[in-house]
């Protein structure tokens, strides 16, 4: 790139400066600071002492932390198994040629993802309530022996959280998958049909490879957001700070919030945060590794 009238060298820095100032204050510095904090014992912003790996050791031997890890993995696995197949199924149905009202359906399915978790959580807490909630009433109308006092929130903690999450996110994934499906070459599908491939084989050998990049990104996205779930359990079980009955709703980030902001031990919370970060980095690296080795063309 050559130009006869080069720009002064500080021009790119001028454009970058507003971003960099706030990024340094509220991203770079906090990252460095959280790494320091993870090795300190803190009670409030004023008192601290370097304690080496003590925070990590304590977290590692903390049974609540492992409960939180277990619940987080359950939630993440559940949302993955419910949302992605549901979204893919809907997207495949919506991709049928000459479907009437496709744009309207897409808008309808996408609309819940505009709502924040805090609002969806409040709504679903009431929807899942005993007796007054819509879900039990609806199930009781359809199946007359369904118990209208079925205790979704009190006993089926993860199921309740996953139902709310599926309502909120399935349409979002569907919109991405539909866009990917509409990019799959029709010629290729026709050619496969002429060669005698049935619908199942056409899906497996033509459609699925075509949407694989998008599908992989959505899986990674579901895993990353699942690992960081906070709002939903915190709102569902706000009377117990997000713990839920028998700590069944305690997730990694709710525990981080409780130790850091309720108990005021930012060092302990940072140690939890870094363990979570390492898990996320591991996920991202695994994703990159898997998508690279199996598809050398990309």
Which residues inside 86-115 make contact with another protein, applying CB under 8 A? Answer: 90, 93-94, 96, 99-100, 105-112, 114-115
- Tell which residue, 266, 274, 262, has the closest CA to residue 43: 266
- Contact region for another protein (CB under 8 A) — 74-82, 151-159, 223-231, 240-248? 223-231
Choices 14-22, 49-57, 76-84, 242-250; region in contact with another protein by CB under 8 A = 14-22
Q: How far is the CB of 194 from another protein (least distance, A)?
A: 20
If one asks whether residue 142 binds another protein (CB under 8 A), the answer comes out as: no
Q: How many angstroms separate the CA atoms of 98 and 196, rounded?
A: 23
Q: Does 62 bind another protein (CB under 8 A)?
A: no
Distance CA 109, CA 117 (A): 16
Q: Tell me the residue ranges of DSSP E strands in 8-105.
A: 40-43, 47-50
Q: Is residue 286 a contact point for another protein (CB under 8 A)? A: no
183 binds another protein (CB under 8 A): yes
Residues in the chain, how many? Answer: 298
Stretch that binds another protein, among 55-63, 152-160, 173-181, 190-198 (CB under 8 A): 173-181
Long-range contact set of residues 42-51: C-beta below 8 Å, sequence gap at least 24: 42/264, 42/265, 42/266, 42/267, 43/264, 43/265, 44/264, 45/266, 48/267, 51/267
270 binds another protein (CB under 8 A): yes
Bridge partners of residue 42, in order along the sequence: 48
**CB closer to another protein, 37 vs 59:** 37
Q: Using CB under 8 A, which residues numbered 188 to 207 contact another protein?
A: none
User: Does 56 engage in binding with another protein (CB under 8 A)?
Assistant: no
Torsion angle in degrees (nearest 10) through CA of 259, 260, 265, 267: 110
**Part of the chain binding another protein (CB under 8 A), chosen from 50-58, 59-67, 77-85, 269-277:** 269-277
Shortest distance in whole angstroms from residue 63 CB to another protein: 21
Q: Which two tokens stand for residue 165?
A: 């999450």
Q: Which residues of 195-208 are buried (b: 16+ CB within 10 A; e: fewer)?
A: eebeeeebeeebbe
Q: Does residue number 119 form part of the binding site for another protein (CB under 8 A)?
A: yes
Cβ proximity of 217 and 223 under 8 Å? no
Q: Is 290 in the site for another protein (CB under 8 A)?
A: no
For another protein, the closer of residues 80 and 184 by Cβ is: 184
Distance CA 114, CA 93 (A): 23
Nearer to another protein, 9 or 52 (CB): 9
Minimum CB distance to another protein, residue 60 (Å): 18
């Amino acid at each position: 790139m050559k130009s006869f009238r080069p720009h002064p060298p500080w021009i790119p820095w001028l454009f970058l400066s507003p971003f960099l100032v706030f990024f340094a204050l509220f991203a770079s510095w906090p990252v460095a600071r959280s790494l320091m904090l993870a090795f300190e014992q803190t009670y409030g912003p004023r008192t601290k002492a370097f304690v080496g790996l003590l925070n990590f050791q304590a977290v590692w031997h903390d049974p609540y932390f492992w409960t939180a890890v277990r619940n987080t993995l359950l939630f993440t696995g559940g949302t993955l198994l419910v949302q992605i197949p549901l979204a893919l199924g809907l997207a495949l149905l919506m991709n049928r040629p000459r479907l009437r009202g496709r744009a309207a359906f897409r808008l309808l399915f996408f609309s819940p993802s505009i709502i924040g978790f805090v609002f969806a959580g409040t709504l679903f807490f009431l929807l899942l309530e005993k007796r007054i909630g819509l879900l039990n009433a609806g199930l009781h109308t359809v199946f007359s022996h369904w118990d209208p006092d079925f205790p979704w929130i009190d006993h089926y903690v993860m199921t309740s959280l996953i139902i709310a999450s599926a309502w909120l996110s399935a349409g979002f994934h569907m919109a991405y998958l539909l866009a990917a499906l509409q990019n799959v070459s029709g010629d290729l599908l026709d050619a496969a049909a002429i060669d005698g491939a049935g619908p199942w084989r056409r899906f497996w050998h033509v459609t699925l490879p075509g949407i694989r990049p998008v599908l992989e990104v959505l899986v990674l996205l579901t895993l990353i957001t699942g690992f960081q779930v906070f709002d939903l359990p915190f709102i569902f079980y706000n009377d117990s700070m997000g713990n839920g009955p028998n700590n069944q709703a305690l997730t990694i980030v709710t525990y981080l919030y409780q130790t850091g902001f309720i108990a005021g031990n930012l060092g302990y919370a940072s140690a939890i945060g870094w363990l979570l970060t390492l898990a996320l980095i591991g996920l991202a690296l695994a994703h990159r590794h898997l998508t690279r080795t199996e598809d050398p063309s990309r």
